[in-house]
Structure 1
Amino acid sequence: MPTAPRPAHLAAPLPVPGPAPVPAHGLAVGPVAALDIGGTKIAGALVDAEGRLLARVQRPTPAREDAETVMAVVAEVLDALAGSPLWDSAGAVGIGSAGPVDAARGTVSPVNVPGWRDFPLVDRVRRLAGGRPVTLVGDGVAMTAAEHWLGAARGHADALCLVVSTGVGGGLVLGGRLHPGPTGNAGHIGHLSVDLDGAPCACGGRGCVERLAGGPHIARHALDGGWRPGPEGDASAAAVAEAARAGHPAALAAFERAARALAAGIAATAHLVEIDIAVVGGGVAGAGEVLFAPLRHHLADYATLAFARGLTVVPAATGTDAGLLGAAAATRATG
């Protein structure tokens, strides 16, 4: 099967303390299996120690179906990977899942897959994978692992990586190591409150970063300001970004508001744990400078302490394969 295009710059492969054979230089010989589970797709791949996707498969997520129907698709993806001649050499399985996840218990409760509530995903996957060890992290942590391994955070000891899409997630690298936290959710910047009197968030808080910078909220703010979608009726954040590039004031204001919320959350993280880079990916980041220009501007207003002033913000580099690469990298990083 053809391999996926590699990122433009490669990191040294991560050490694998797990069961795959480890030679003297500390790098894994065999691949690991990776699962990327979200509300739209369930993808799987065998990923080698240099980040090559040696085999891959993808199926639509039956997100509105019952728990066992969704699990049957996970089983189908794993079964397809098991058909590869490389499967026997895969020493572990990594899962990056939409959340919330609880890595300590091995359960997932994705907001966008209502049939899964406290679903014992790790146990079920372990059984399907012949008892191989399974590592579970949230999708924001998976993206962080990918960016630290092969992407824009490569070489940085302390980083925050964000996924800005329908929601806003994230993950942390501290002291040169992925820091998923006890449940696999550390770095979830989307639910930092940046407006104490702000609108209620689905999480139960108020004025969360996600409530201001998530794609649907960007679109809603633009609509409230007088922007209207074109003849196709596309009221997405991508359509708002196109209007902002054309100079529409309500579209520009919506991205300005989102950028300010992200800047406040990033600065708060920098002041708390001394990151030196923030990597922003996800669909909303595809807006480019419509988002990044005001984000950098507002970051200068919020990251005011001396140790945070050098903080840089850059786009993510691992693209649509981030979930799979990150699930594999999390397995290698956490063993």
Structure 2
Amino acid sequence: MTLALDIGGTKIAGALVRGDGKLLVSARRATPRGTDGDGVMAALEEVVGELAQAPEWAGVRRCGIGSAGPIDASRGTVSPVNIGAWRGYPVVERTEKALARHGAPVPTVLVGDGVAMTAAEHWLGAARGHRNALCMVVSTGVGGGLVLDGRLHPGPTGNAGHIGHISVELDGELCPCGSRGCVEIIASGTSIARHAGLADAAAAAEAARAGDPAALAAFDRAGKALAAGIAGTATLVEIDICVIGGGVAAAGDLLFGPLRRHLKTYAALSFVGHLEITAAALGTEAGLVGAAAAAGQLLEV
């Protein structure tokens, strides 16, 4: 049994996850605002405390945390962009102390939310059976993770595969990360909406379906940036599938159409020409399933 925790800017969720990926018991709290780091941690501890009341708690053998980033898995710390109270916060240490207080002194692994999504899709979703894969979340940000030679590849700090901050326009717009022309500053839902002149990505998708030129151009621009980043990644590590999830992926062919079209230009070498692009198969539970999958693979206890 694995305790899985999914930490984001709006909610902190937890679940007890069986060995086949089934969520047996779950709990969630809103991510606190206007508090310090320990105030945010208190919400996570409430989630743990609620799950500890379940009969299945006695079977917990490991804990997996998937968190918005940046993270540093080597230090067990998180500094999520969307949780301002956490900067270098020792979430692994604090979580393990909470687990011990509830009678479960088990090891904990920390991965970024993009890596967690990757672990989930490779275990039970669209990347299942593929030995080399890139999985992406395209939402208010753009994140991702890698599976190489059949195993999750989080890298030393847990951030490997963070395709959102590959530069695809060398003199492009300044990205909040400090670089220029990143995939994220072009292809995120926020950027699509801004270039379409609309409130959000959902409104941009609605306008594009109605034939609005600015909205269609915004999705084409996003698809082109994603294609360049995906092709570069495929050229570097020879992935054979790219799985895309997140709110923007819900736009369907508005995003996937231009992405696949532009990919033919960027994925020009013979060994990347076969690259498959597909939508993620798992829904809102992917973060929890992925945290459990990452813990199972990286801890192997």
Q: Among residues 64, 68, 79, which one is paired with 1:94 in the alignment?
A: 64
**Distance in 1 (alpha carbons) for counterparts of 2:33 and 2:146:** 28
Superimposed CA distance per residue, residues 279-329 of structure 1 (whole angstroms, 9 cap, x where no aligned partner): 000111111110001110011110011000000100001111010000000
Q: Among residues 195, 217, 227, which one is paired with 1:221 in the alignment?
A: 195
Q: Is the 8 A contact 1:140 1:169 kept in 2?
A: yes
CA apart distance, 1:246? 1.2
TM-score, reference length from structure 1: 0.87
Report the counterpart of residue 132 of structure 2 in structure 1: 158
Report the counterpart of residue 270 of structure 1 in structure 2: 234
Q: Is the 8 A contact 1:165 1:284 kept in 2?
A: yes
After TM superposition, the structure 1 = structure 2 runs for residues 108-127 of structure 1, keeping only pairs within 5 Å, are 108-127=78-97
Report the counterpart of residue 24 of structure 1 in structure 2: none
CA apart distance, 1:79? 0.3
Report the counterpart of residue 205 of structure 1 in structure 2: 179
**Distance in 2 (alpha carbons) for counterparts of 1:50 and 1:132:** 20
Report the counterpart of residue 162 of structure 2 in structure 1: 188
Q: Among residues 99, 120, 138, which one is paired with 1:146 in the alignment?
A: 120
The structure where helix makes up a greater share of residues is: 2
| SS of match in other structure, 1:206 | coil
| SS of match in other structure, 1:156 | coil
CA apart distance, 1:159? 0.2
TM-score, reference length from structure 2: 0.97
Superimposed CA distance per residue, residues 86-138 of structure 1 (whole angstroms, 9 cap, x where no aligned partner): 11111011000000000000000000001000000000001111121001000
Report the counterpart of residue 245 of structure 1 in structure 2: 209
**Distance in 2 (alpha carbons) for counterparts of 1:109 and 1:309:** 37
CA apart distance, 1:242? 1.1
Q: Is the 8 A contact 1:40 1:63 kept in 2?
A: no
| SS of match in other structure, 2:176 | coil
| SS of match in other structure, 2:211 | coil
Superimposed CA distance per residue, residues 31-79 of structure 1 (whole angstroms, 9 cap, x where no aligned partner): 1000000001100000011110000011111144211110000000000
**Distance in 2 (alpha carbons) for counterparts of 1:143 and 1:64:** 28
Structure 1: stretches of 5+ with no match in the other structure: 1-30, 224-228, 230-234
* 2:266 is equivalent to residue 302 of structure 1: yes
Q: How many residues align?
A: 295
**Distance in 2 (alpha carbons) for counterparts of 1:138 and 1:199:** 25
Q: Which runs of 4+ in 1 moved over 2 A?
A: none
Percent sequence identity is: 65
Q: Among residues 32, 52, 69, which one is paired with 1:82 in the alignment?
A: 52
Q: Among residues 317, 322, 329, which one is paired with 2:281 in the alignment?
A: 317
Q: Is the 8 A contact 1:64 1:114 kept in 2?
A: no
**Distance in 2 (alpha carbons) for counterparts of 1:304 and 1:285:** 24
**Distance in 2 (alpha carbons) for counterparts of 1:63 and 1:112:** 10
| SS of match in other structure, 2:284 | helix
